[in-house]
Structure 1
Amino acid sequence: MGSYRDVYYPECSPLVEGPEVRRAYCLHALNHVLKANSQVLAHNARLKEAKGGEEEDFRDQGLTRPKVLILVPFRDGALRVVQTFISLLEHEGKKMEVSNKKRFKDEYGEDPNDRPTNLHRPDDYNAVFSGNVDDHFRIGVSIMKRSMRLYSPFYSSDIIVASPLGLRTLLGVEGEAQRDFDFLSSIEMLVLDQTDVFLMQNWEHVMHAVKHMNLQPRDSHGVDFSRVRMRNLNNWAQYYRQTLIFSAIPEPQINNILTKHCHNYAGQVAIKNLPKIGSICQVLVQLPHVFQMFRADTFMDQDIRFQFFVEKVLPQYRDSVMSHTLIYVPSYFDFVRLRNYLKKEDVSFCSISEYSKRSEVSRARHHFLTGEKQILLFSERFHFYKRYTIKGIQNLIFYALPTYAHFYSEVCNMLQSSTGSSSLTCTALYSRYDTHRLAAITGAERTAQMIRSNKSVHLFVTGEEKSA
């Protein structure tokens, strides 16, 4: 970070590395802001002292004041960032003067009435959803030498902490009268924390924010152009912006930000480690796993996946013998497409997505468990936000490999409640463009063999009698 290169760190677990990474980038951001502000104050003093003669030329500012933008998914993330700022600025027992601290704590702190206490969820779930999970917010922070002001107007702020949705509603779209994105014109440091969670919210909001970085402002906002750096006047700010991306998982959509929207002259650093042991090793149920490969021409070609599923996979599960089949679907667009197809074909099914009401979820779980409905269509985002255990699964189909590798073992282990059944099955579809997800599930070595193999079907067995 100190070299001002772009950094992509896709192994930042919210449980282990998350707090330390947050402390590191907060320290880096504060250091950057305090140095920049000190330079401006020093130059102001020298200009004030200059009497007669030719004034010195100091170019030490951007077109607008905000220098750092930190995107986090929930209010709890913003709370932790601000708390980290305060702890770093308080030293040797000296307390920082923080304006609007009570208001901030009231709005960003956790409401004890929000969350029932009897829920048992995995540790990674508790780490992500531990506090206030509202995802619509934005707050300006101005940093002085001995004080910090929260809720400062954006054009008087040094640091902006926001969610992608909170920023999107302010940025607006082409044609809207109230839109404003000038405050992003001179951002020198962009931080995306818990970027994988943005994939479970709305990725378009993230891309919308990234595309509006370092554009020429539409208004001058009272700037003294004699103090503006030449790189900002020449519209070169994007080449001097540092982007820091932290994620729990590697994902092409996240990597795309670095490759397509980051042009830092200082270069880039990306951390990449091949997973030696996949999450399939955490499956406790004795279960045959059939991985079926289909040929795809591009990463985004979902039509081929759909046709393969409809023609090759689904017919095997239409028979009433193959009841209690759960279809796990990572993409909501695929979820809607499959739901419409199953309705059209008059298949006995029910569905659960992140948009389902609690009553609809209860009804669907009951119908699936009792066998009234043969198939349960299940969205990944519902699992991400709720982590319910679905009982009665005897046949499991992964329409696409899960975004999070541990979701694979979590869903497979739901079959434990059906271990008395005569036969349990698990089928997963993948193409060569799913290599990163496949490696996280089966391990890098096995994945390489599967991708290179002439066979399109591969079998693994987990449980008491393991084989490959």
Structure 2
Amino acid sequence: PFVQHLGNELSEEEVRKLASGTRTRTQAKWPRLGTMTCSSALDRFGAVGLESSVKPLLLHKTLEANWPLVNKTFVAQGSSQDVSPLQRELLGLMGSYRDVYFPESSPMAEAREVRSAYCLHALNHVLKANARVLANNSHLRDRKPGEELEDECRDQGMTRPKVLILVPFRDHALQVVHILISLLEPKGKKMDVSHKKRFKDEYGEQASDRPPNLSRPDDYHAIFSGNVDDHFRIGLSVLRRSLRLYAPFYSSDIIIASPLGLRTVLGTEGESKRDFDFLSSIEVLVVDHADVYLMQNWEHVLTTIKHLNLQPLGSHGVDFSRVRMWNLNNWAQYYRQTLVFSSIQDPQINNLLTKHCFNYRGQVSVKNLSKVGSICQVVVQLPHVFQRLNSESFTDQECRFQFFVDKVLPQYRDAVMSHTLIYVPSYFDYVRLRNYLRKEEVNFASICEYSARSQVCRARHFFQKGDRQFLLFTERFHFYKRYAIKGIRNLIFYALPTYAHFFSEMCNMLRAGSDAGDSGWTCTVLYSRFDLHRLAAVAGAERAAQMLRSQKSVHLFVTGEEHSL
């Protein structure tokens, strides 16, 4: 597969077809991954078959020997297999060199299996590429004087880095490097790894300032364990018998970085000190924990993608007689494989693949809708009113704002409807609502991810006591802090939450700080026809489809022990 993928020469007509973005879509269903959408611009790369074995990958011997040991955590006790069903199917897709989007990589379960799988694939790609270069070097040394250079010796890109792995925190980079070392180590021997102590000091456990007495859910501990610094980048050079950490980018085979860490190197147009040539020949891009970047800064991800596979501004010592023709033709983006892993379906992540990825072998996206929504995890007796907007697009925020101001907010302005929390996923929507409430002199407090601890304490206190009628609350604050907000009686979701389980978490907060016999709680949710995945994750796929098809724009559900949905 490696030779077939990189050795395939595209015609100019095929390149024009790839650049147009027109794709043929088909569906496939696999035992573990479920329903998948397969898209391809070229007819000869259509739907995927069922690659039920990793043998077609033709793994490097060292990787094949070490894989069972590295992967033993995910194999059932007593099983003779050395690969889980999920990894078997993911490795089959990766080995076909198609783009892959897997949005069910839970940080508590699948994420570890996924990480081992893409490390195996990335390292296999690097070892095969390096082995080919070394073999051709030997062939060229034995070449007779005056003998012409064969096309088979075109085995390189414009720069050396071949694999870029994006992870959100240093702890994730630490785990990736540990897996790579384990895969490379000779059996029974320790691998020669340079700067190992420095790497452990900089990427290992750090002191936490979080209060130890706060109870947080399992997904929080899974995401925020270890070193959670999000500004880093490190180059890895894979040699014959050693691994060099902190290698200069132009001497690296693999780059592991956070989007923010790369963003500071890439710079902006007009800056004197900026560099992006080292991304010119990336052949495998891994975007792990893509949903976390939505909580950080998605623009950093887009900036990184836009700087991939551009023609370098300098030569950087490359031997142009060894550069592949498709690299010289500036067609590298059509050969780049992009692997995206997330715990949720999200339009922005989908857009990353549809608008910025042009792999000539096509794309495969897992498209399973949630059968049981997170609303079933709401344990309080609570009526949920879902109100549908007539929005023109996913990004049409004007319609949502006017609907909220004209239809929803007036219902809660009465003093009787106090203790109302407004949950806002987008920070830009939060700023707009905050400015509007200030202008209208509404009695409210606000909490966002940029609020100082003292501001958060005051806002929570005033809201619980009823001194502030409204509390404007951002999703990112909940993602990073998970504080229990006491005193909520009315809950408004300005938009459906990015993470479905946040819906039940917020609804169940109504019990906090409430009297045993307290009642009269309400929950209002705004959604549009472009919120299919989020709505399905909250309400369930079947119920979401009915709500979107219905002529009615308002739907009521009641949760609690005495009620059924």
What does 1:197-276 align with in structure 2 at a 5 Å threshold?
197-276=292-371
- 1:296 equivalent in alignment to 2:391: yes
Select which of 380, 394, 397 maps to 2:489: 394
- 1:150 equivalent in alignment to 2:245: yes
Shift of 1:146: 1.4
Shift of 1:209: 0.4
Select which of 545, 550, 554 maps to 1:453: 550
- 1:108 equivalent in alignment to 2:108: no
Name the CA distance, whole Å, in 1 between partners of 2:480 and 2:311.
38
Equivalences, count:
468
The corresponding residue for 2:460 is: 365
Name the CA distance, whole Å, in 2 between partners of 1:306 and 1:410.
24
Q: Give the stretch that moved more between structures: 268-277 or 405-414.
A: 268-277
The corresponding residue for 2:107 is: 14
Shift of 1:110: 1.1
The corresponding residue for 1:33 is: 126
The corresponding residue for 2:470 is: 375
The corresponding residue for 1:416 is: 511
Q: Secondary structure at the match of 1:186?
A: coil
Name the CA distance, whole Å, in 2 between partners of 1:411 and 1:47.
66
Q: Give the stretch that moved more between structures: 111-120 or 247-256.
A: 111-120
Give, as a single letter, the amino acid of the residue that structure 1 aligns with 2:139: R
CA contact (8 A) 1:75 1:133 kept: yes
Name the CA distance, whole Å, in 2 between partners of 1:119 and 1:55.
70
Give, as a single letter, the amino acid of the residue that structure 2 aligns with 1:85: L
- 1:314 equivalent in alignment to 2:409: yes
Shift of 1:259: 0.6
Name the CA distance, whole Å, in 1 between partners of 2:503 and 2:494.
12
Q: Secondary structure at the match of 2:338?
A: strand
The corresponding residue for 1:180 is: 275
Select which of 337, 351, 357 maps to 2:432: 337
Q: Secondary structure at the match of 1:432?
A: coil
Name the CA distance, whole Å, in 1 between partners of 2:145 and 2:269.
48
CA contact (8 A) 1:394 1:421 kept: no
- 1:403 equivalent in alignment to 2:465: no
Under a length normalisation based on structure 1, what TM-score does the superposition of the two structures give? 0.99
Give, as a single letter, the amino acid of the residue that structure 1 aligns with 2:141: K
Shift of 1:421: 2.2
CA contact (8 A) 1:291 1:429 kept: yes
5+ residue gaps, structure 2 = 1-93
- Which deviations, in whole Å up to 9, do the C-alpha atoms of 1:82-128 show, x marking residues without a partner? 11111111242121100001001100111145544333211000000
RMSD: 1.0
Give, as a single letter, the amino acid of the residue that structure 1 aligns with 2:422: I
Give, as a single letter, the amino acid of the residue that structure 1 aligns with 2:218: D
The corresponding residue for 2:86 is: none
Name the CA distance, whole Å, in 2 between partners of 1:208 and 1:142.
25
CA contact (8 A) 1:142 1:148 kept: yes
- Which deviations, in whole Å up to 9, do the C-alpha atoms of 1:165-203 show, x marking residues without a partner? 110111111111111110010000000000000000000
Shift of 1:51: 3.0
Shift of 1:420: 3.0
Q: Secondary structure at the match of 1:433?
A: coil
Q: Which has the higher contact order (CA 8 A, sep 6+)?
A: 1
Name the CA distance, whole Å, in 1 between partners of 2:209 and 2:451.
19
Shift of 1:436: 1.0
5+ residue gaps, structure 1 = none
The corresponding residue for 2:98 is: 5
The corresponding residue for 1:432 is: 529
- 1:464 equivalent in alignment to 2:557: no
Shift of 1:336: 0.3
Shift of 1:455: 0.8
Give, as a single letter, the amino acid of the residue that structure 2 aligns with 1:42: A
The corresponding residue for 1:94 is: 189
- Which deviations, in whole Å up to 9, do the C-alpha atoms of 1:437-467 show, x marking residues without a partner? 0010000111111111111110000002223
CA contact (8 A) 1:34 1:145 kept: no
Name the CA distance, whole Å, in 2 between partners of 1:100 and 1:51.
41
Give, as a single letter, the amino acid of the residue that structure 1 aligns with 2:555: H
Shift of 1:422: 3.2
Q: Secondary structure at the match of 2:339?
A: strand
The corresponding residue for 1:192 is: 287
Name the CA distance, whole Å, in 2 between partners of 1:409 and 1:331.
19
Name the CA distance, whole Å, in 2 between partners of 1:74 and 1:98.
22
Under a length normalisation based on structure 2, what TM-score does the superposition of the two structures give? 0.82
Name the CA distance, whole Å, in 2 between partners of 1:278 and 1:200.
22
Shift of 1:62: 0.3
Q: Secondary structure at the match of 2:530?
A: helix
Q: Secondary structure at the match of 1:291?
A: strand
Compared with structure 1, are the counterparts of its residues 254 and 34 closer, same or farther at alpha carbon in structure 2 (3 Å cutoff)? same
Q: Secondary structure at the match of 1:314?
A: helix
Give, as a single letter, the amino acid of the residue that structure 2 aligns with 1:164: P
CA contact (8 A) 1:47 1:55 kept: no
Q: Secondary structure at the match of 1:98?
A: strand
Name the CA distance, whole Å, in 2 between partners of 1:449 and 1:38.
56
Q: Secondary structure at the match of 2:101?
A: strand
Identity %: 75
What does 1:123-138 align with in structure 2 at a 5 Å threshold?
123-138=218-233
Q: Secondary structure at the match of 1:429?
A: strand
Shift of 1:435: 1.3
The corresponding residue for 1:164 is: 259
The corresponding residue for 1:56 is: 149
Give, as a single letter, the amino acid of the residue that structure 2 aligns with 1:204: E
Give, as a single letter, the amino acid of the residue that structure 1 aligns with 2:417: M
CA contact (8 A) 1:354 1:379 kept: yes
The corresponding residue for 1:141 is: 236
Q: Give the stretch that moved more between structures: 175-184 or 323-332.
A: 175-184
Shift of 1:46: 1.3
Select which of 68, 71, 82 maps to 2:166: 71
Q: Secondary structure at the match of 1:460?
A: strand
Q: Secondary structure at the match of 1:19?
A: helix
Name the CA distance, whole Å, in 2 between partners of 1:105 and 1:26.
19
Shift of 1:298: 1.2
Q: Give the stretch that moved more between structures: 68-77 or 107-116.
A: 107-116
- Which deviations, in whole Å up to 9, do the C-alpha atoms of 1:136-167 show, x marking residues without a partner? 11100000121000100000000000000110
